[in-house]
Amino acid sequence: MDQNQTGGEWARMVSGRLYDPANQEITKRHRTGLLRCDRFNRIALWRAKAKQRALERLIPSAKGKNFEVFAPFYCEYGVNIHVGQNCFVNYKSVFLDVAPITLGNNVLIGPNVTLATPNHPFLAEERAFADYPDGCHELEYAQPITIGDHCWLCSGVTVCGGVTIGAGSIIAAGAVVTRDIPPHSIAAGVPAQVLRQISESDRIHVWEKYIKNEPPR
Q: In the predicted model, what is the mean pLDDT of residues 87-103?
A: 98
135 within some domain: yes
User: pTM of the prediction?
Assistant: 0.93
| C-alpha R_g of the chain | 19
The answer to the question of residue 70 being in a domain is yes
pLDDT band at 120 (very low <50, low <70, confident <90, very high): very high
Answer yes or no: is 216 within a domain.
no
pLDDT tens by residue, 169-179: 999 999 999 99
Q: Would 217 be classed as within a structural domain? A: no
51: left (phi > 0), else alpha (psi -120 to 50), else beta? alpha
Q: How many CB atoms neighbour CB 116 within 10 A?
A: 20
- For 52-64, what is the mean pLDDT? 97
**How many Cβ atoms are within 10 Å of 155's Cβ, its own excluded?**
16
For residue 167, is it within any domain?
Answer: yes
Q: Is there a domain that residue 177 lies in?
A: yes
pLDDT for position 44: 96
Instruction: Read off the CATH number of the domain in which 148 is found.
Output: 2.160.10.10
- Provide the annotated active-site residues: 120
Q: Would you call the peptide bond into 21 cis, given omega within 30 degrees of 0 as the criterion?
A: no
Residue 103 within a domain: yes
Using one digit for the tens of pLDDT, what is the confidence trace for 5-17?
446 999 999 999 9
| Nearest in space to 33 (alpha carbons), one of 13, 49, 47 | 13
Asked if 183 contacts 169 with a C-beta cutoff of 8 angstroms, the reply is: yes
Phi-psi category of residue 64: left, alpha or beta, with phi > 0 → left and psi -120 to 50 → alpha: left
Residue in 2, 7, 23, 8 with CA at minimum distance from that of residue 138: 23
Q: What is the pLDDT of residues 127-185, one digit of tens each?
A: 999 888 888 899 999 999 999 999 999 999 999 999 999 999 999 999 999 999 999 99
Q: Does residue 79 belong to any structural domain of this protein?
A: yes
Q: How many domains does the chain have?
A: 1
Query: By residue range, what is the domain housing residue 62?
Result: 3-211
DSSP sequence for 28-63:
HHHHHHHHHHHHHHHS-TT-HHHHHHHHHHHSGGGT
In the chain, pLDDT over 90 holds for what percent of residues? 91
Q: Distance of CA 151 to CAs 33, 69, 187, 198, 215, Å? A: 26, 16, 11, 12, 23
The answer on pLDDT for 188 being more than 80 is yes
Q: How confident is the model at residue 1 (pLDDT cuts 50, 70, 90)?
A: very low
